[in-house]
Amino acid sequence: MSNLFIDDFVISQGHKTTEDYLTWSMDERLCPRFNSVKYYQSLLSKGLIREGFSIRTSDQRVIDRHYWVNSDGNLVGETEIPAHKGKNGTFKPEEILIGERISSGWTIESFGFFVVFREYMKSKKQ
pLDDT digits (tens, 9 = 90+) for 98-112: 887 788 889 998 889
Evaluate whether residue 76 is within a structural domain: yes
pLDDT at 38: 97
- 96-99, Cβ contacts within 8 angstroms, sequence gap of 24 or more: 96/55, 96/57, 96/65, 96/67, 97/36, 97/37, 97/40, 97/55, 97/57, 98/36, 98/37
Evaluate whether residue 21 is within a structural domain: yes
Percent of the chain with pLDDT over 90: 71
**Residue predicted with more confidence, 76 or 78:** 76
pLDDT at 83: 66
Evaluate whether residue 109 is within a structural domain: yes
Q: Which of 15-19, 21-25, 81-85, 100-104 has the lowest mean pLDDT?
A: 81-85
Segments forming the whole domain that contains residue 12: 8-125
Evaluate whether residue 2 is within a structural domain: no
pLDDT level of residue 121 (50, 70, 90 thresholds): very high
**Residue predicted with more confidence, 62 or 54:** 54
What stretch of H or E contains 106?
Answer: strand 105-108
Evaluate whether residue 80 is within a structural domain: yes
pLDDT at 35: 93
**Residue predicted with more confidence, 76 or 79:** 76
Total domains, the chain:
1
Mean pLDDT in residue range 64-80: 91
Evaluate whether residue 3 is within a structural domain: no
Evaluate whether residue 1 is within a structural domain: no
